[in-house]
Amino acid sequence: MPELPEVEVSRLGILPWLVGQTVTRVVVRHRQLRWPVPEALCLLEGCPITQVTRRAKYLLLHSTLGTAILHLGMSGRLRILPVGTPPVLHDHVDIELANGQLLRLHDPRRFGAVLWTEGDALAHPLLASLGPEPLTDAFNPDYLWQRSRRRHSAVKPWLMDNHMVVGVGNIYANEALFATRIDPRRAASSLSEAECAALVAAIKTVLQRAIAQGGTTLRDFTRADGKPGYFVQELAVYGRAGEGCVVCGHPLESLRQAQRTTFFCPYCQH
Which residues are catalytically annotated?
2-3, 57, 260
Asked whether the CA dihedral 184, 190, 196, 200 is positive or negative, the reply is positive
Distance from C-alpha of 224 to C-alpha of 53, rounded to nearest angstrom: 15
Distance from C-alpha of 61 to C-alpha of 44, rounded to nearest angstrom: 10
Distance from C-alpha of 198 to C-alpha of 216, rounded to nearest angstrom: 23
- Neighbour tally for 35: CB within 10 Å: 13
Residue-by-residue DSSP string for 163-183: TTSSS--HHHHHHHHHHTT--
Distance from C-alpha of 129 to C-alpha of 98, rounded to nearest angstrom: 35
Q: Over the range 85-109, which residues count as b (16 or more CB within 10 Å of their CB) and which as e?
A: eeeeebbbbbbbbeeebbbbbbbee
